[in-house]
Structure 1
Amino acid sequence: MKLRSRRIGDYDVAFLFDGMFSTGIDSLVHARGPAAQAEMLASRSGTTIEFEVNHFALRGPGGLTLIDAGTGPGWNPSLGQSWDSMRQNGIAPADVDRVLLTHLHFDHARGLLDGDKPYFPRAEVLIPSTELACYTSEAARLALPEARRSAFPITAAIVKAYGSRIRAFVPGEIMPGIETVALPGHTMGQTGFLLKGNGETALFWADAAHMGDVQTADPDVSTVFDYDPKLAARTRWWLFDRAVAENWLIAGSHLSDFSRVRRVGQTYGIAAG
C-alpha cells in the first residue's frame, strides 16, 4: 500500500487508502439531459468505471484529526482497508482526537463504527449542520426513493454510538488554519475543508468530483450518487474556476494523489500537484 503524505501549513497530511470502488458506466448522468447523456456514454469505452476511496489524516494543532473515516471492514471486499492504512501510518483508534465529516455517505462515515460501537474511543465527530439535519429527518428520508436512503441508518448508528461527542458545525473556521467550503449537490450538506498555511492552500473536496479527468473536462457529468445532479454540476463549475484562480492543491476522496485543476480551453483538466 503506497503512503502519500505532504506538509501543508501547520499540518502533516496523509492519504488513508480504503480500497477501490467499481460501478457501471450507467452510473454516469449528464446535467444537460438525455441527448448529452447518450453522447457521453457513446464516447466511453468499457462498461465499468473504477476509482479509489480515500480519507485523510492531519497531524498538527489540536492533535490528530481525520477528514472522513472510510467504509470500515465488511461492507465490500474491495473496500474497508483504511484501518490497515491507519496502522501503517502509525495511527491507533485511541490516537484520534476528532473526525471532520464532509458528508454522511457510507464510504466517508461507516468507518466510524465497529459494529454498533464507536471505533474511535475518544474522538469528537464534527458533522455539517445541514447534513446532520437532513439525515436525521424522517420527512427527508421518505422524500427519497428506497435506493437513496442508505445514509439514514448509518447516521442513526453514528449518533447512537458517539452520543454527546457529535457536534454539528456551521460555515466558518472549524480549526486553526482550516475553513469550511459548502459543496452542495452530491449531498445537500456536503462540505469541503480549506487548509491554509506557508503560502499553500489545499482543498479537501470530498465527492465534488468522483473522476477528476472526466469531470474537469465536462463539469456537467454527474453520477447517480449525487443527491441533486444539476446542483452538483453548478458546484463543480464554480469550484473548478475557483481552484484554478487560487491555484489550490486538491485532495479528493476519489483522486489518487494531491492534484491541481488547470484551465483547458473552455473547461478544465487535472494534473499532479
Structure 2
Amino acid sequence: MSYLTVNRRKALLGGALLAAAPALLAGTTAARAGGTDLPMRAVARFSLGDMRLTVIDDLLFTVPTAIFGANQPAGSVDKLFAKYGLPQEFANMQAQVLLVETGDAKVLIDTGMGDITLPDSTPDNGRLFAGLKAVGVAPEDITHVFLTHGHYDHLGGVSQNGKPCFPNAAHFMPESELAYWTAAPGTEANFENLMIGYANDKLAPVKDMIKTVKDGDEIVPGITAIAAPGHTLGHMAVMLTSGDESLLHMIDTSVHYIVGTNEPTWALGIEHDPEAAVATRRKLFGRAVEENLLVAGYHFPFPGIGRMSQKEDGTYLYTPVSVA
C-alpha cells in the first residue's frame, strides 16, 4: 500500500488535518531561517550499564488533538485528554534526540528538526547543537548517525546549507525509508509532499554517506535496529543493551504518551499503515512489559524515559521514571 493511498484515506478521516500543511501545523515550531542558533533548553544525562546516554530537547510544537484519533469519532481524543486533565483541541509536544556514548563511539539516534522552517510558525527547534555543545561534544566528534525514518523532525539536523552536519560520522537508515524519502515529491500541495520535499533537501548532502540497515542490524555493538513498521513503512525502533541493562527506544511507535499507550488501536493521522502501527505498538509494548525494559519515546515529555505496564483491559500505561 502506498504512502499516498494511505494518506488520502487519512485525509478523509481527519478532514483538513492532512489536506494542507498550515492547518495541520498551526503553532508548530521552526528554526530561524539561516541557522540552528537557538540556545539549549534541557539535557538529561544518565548511564545504562557502561553506556552514557544524553537526551537533548530539540523542539516544542503543537498539533490538533484530532490527529491522534484519525479512525475515531470526533471528540474522542479530547474526552481522553479531559480524563487526564490535559488541554483539549491542541496538544503540546516535544522531540528529543538521544546521544549514546559507548566505547569510542558517539552515536546520535535521529537529529531533530534542524533549521527547517514550517509555515505560520515560530522558532523553537534546532536546539540539538547547543545541547551537544553543553555536554562537550562537537558535531565533528559524532561517529555514527542513525536516522530511524524520514520525517522532517527526525532528519532535519543531518545537514545544513547543503553540507553534512556530522562530517565524520557513518550514517545509517532503513533501506525502504531512504528510497521513499529521496524520491521526488508529488505536485499536489499537501503535508505529505511537504515532508518529502524537506527530506529530499536534507538527505541529498549525506545520501552517499548512508548505509542501509535492516531488522536486527547493529549500528555499533549494543545498539540494534528493530523493525517497527506502521508509523512509516520502514520505521525502526532501537534497542540499547549494556551488560544486564537494556532500553527500548520506541521512537514514534507511540507519538503521544497517553493516546498511543492507552488506546493502541487509535490511528495517528500521518501513519503510513495504521494496521501495522497497531501491531507494532502491541508487540513493542508487550516486549517492554515482559522483559521489564526501560523505554523511551521520541515525543514523550522530557526526558521521555519510563516503563510500560499492562492494564486489565489489555491496553498499556506509560509511567515516567527518574534517570538522574
TM-score by length of 1: 0.89
Distance 1:189 1:66 in 2: 19
Letter in 2 for 1:242: R
After superposition, the CA RMSD in angstroms is 2.2
TM-superposed CA distance for 1:38, in Å, is: 4.4
Out of 115, 123, 126, the position equivalent to 1:73 is: 115
What corresponds to 2:284 in structure 1?
239
Kindly provide the CA deviation profile for residues 126-169 of structure 1, in whole angstroms up to 9, marking residues without a partner as x.
0011211222345xx55998321234233333443124311111
Contiguous gaps of at least 5 residues in structure 2: 1-40, 83-87
Q: Cα deviations across residues 203-255 of structure 1 (Å, max 9, x unaligned)? A: 11111111112321111223223222332122112221111001111121112
Q: Which runs of 4+ in 1 moved over 6 A?
A: none
Alignment check: 8 A CA contact 1:159 1:166 kept: no
Partner amino acid, structure 1, of 2:57 = F
Counterpart among 205, 209, 218 of residue 161 in structure 1: 205
The alpha-carbon distance between structure 1 residues 82 and 98, as it changes in their structure 2 partners (threshold 3 A), is same
The number of residue pairs the alignment matches comes to 268
Moved more, 161-170 or 122-131: 161-170
Could you tell me which residue of structure 2 aligns to residue 146 of structure 1? 190
Distance in 2 (CA, whole Å) between partners of 1:145 and 1:234 is 31
Q: Deviations over 1:66-122 (max 9, x none)?
A: 000011135251222111111112121111111011111111001111122111122
For residues 31-180 of structure 1, the aligned pairs below 5 Å read 33-35=71-73, 38-45=75-82, 46-75=88-117, 76-137=122-183, 141-142=185-186, 146-174=190-218, 175-180=220-225
Distance in 2 separating the partners of 1:260 and 1:178: 19
CA distance in 1: counterparts of 2:296 and 2:72, whole angstroms: 31
Please name the residue that 2:318 is paired with: 270
Structure 1, gaps ≥5 residues long: none
Which of 6, 20, 25 is matched with 2:60 structurally? 20
Of Structure 1 and Structure 2, the greater strand share is in 1
Give the secondary-structure state (helix, strand or coil) at the position aligned to 1:221: coil
- Letter paired with 2:225: T
CA drift at 1:62:
4.1
Q: Percent identity?
A: 26
Q: CA 1:130/1:74 → structure 2, altered by over 3 Å: closer, same or farther?
A: closer
TM-fit CA distance, 1:194: 0.5
Assess, with a 3 A threshold, how the Cα gap between structure 1 residues 51 and 197 changes in structure 2: closer, same or farther: same
How far did 1:61 drift?
A: 3.0
Shift of 1:25: 1.4
Task: Report the counterpart of residue 33 of structure 2 in structure 1.
Answer: none
Q: Secondary structure of 1:149's partner?
A: helix
Which residue among 9, 19, 27 is the counterpart of 2:49?
Answer: 9
